[in-house]
Amino acid sequence: MIKQKPTRLFVSTLAISLAAGLATCAPRQVGPPLERGTFREADLVEIVTLDSTIRLDIRYATADNLVGRPVYPEARAFLQRPAAEALVRAHRALAASGFGIVVFDGYRPWSVTKIFWDITPPEKRDFVADPAQGSKHNRGCAVDLSLFDLKTGREVEMTSAFDEMSERSAADYAGGTPEQRERRDLLRRAMEKEGFEVYPFEWWHFDYRDWRQYRILNIPFAAIKPAS
């Protein structure tokens, strides 16, 4: 694990912003937005049950995240089945280059998206989803991830740390070292080949092409039934 922690100062700012927000009288959204239309039935699958060689580094189950405390009770990662299967294909293809995938986050209950939005100052909200619109994570069709070296088992260095709220996190950031950019772009090519699209502000965030076909969910991890 890379021990870059550029967000620690930001955590203090978030705490102040949250306290200020709680003092206002603005109406607060208490549940996911209502959606009209026809959607596929949710089929959330635990990623590592499809391929146990995919690694997990679920930061939101620890205090090492933008909130500064755990927001997940368990270090687990889920995706809708087509997205999970596509991720496995990308992981296996990357092995030819000496890398594997490490997952930071997959499906995210809507209530957690609401926490992130509430504590984030307006000028930093390009890095979080608006709960009024919901997140592709809430639909089980977004994944946050990086690479690890198959020889050493260590997570590789990219142009920024995961969840770093700076220009260095942009998918097309021209800075950093050539090696960092090469690995970042290798990950992007592998994911795009399998139907994912990178989020421009975050090199680690990828949305699966079928995300519109699934509803916004607020199911806790413990309530997700294992595949039969």
Q: What residues are labeled active site?
A: 202
Helix (H) / strand (E) element for 80: namely: strand 78-80
DSSP state letters, 204-216:
EEEEETTGGGS--
Q: Which residues of 163-201 are buried (b: 16+ CB within 10 A; e: fewer)?
A: bbbbebbbbebeebeeebbebbebbbebbeebbbbbbee
- Give the separation between CA 164 and CA 10, rounded to whole angstroms: 9
Helices in 5-79 by DSSP H: which ranges? 8-22, 47-50
DSSP state letters, 124-147:
GGGGS--TTT--TTTTT-EEEEEE
Tally of CA atoms within 13 A in the half-sphere of 156 that contains its CB = 25
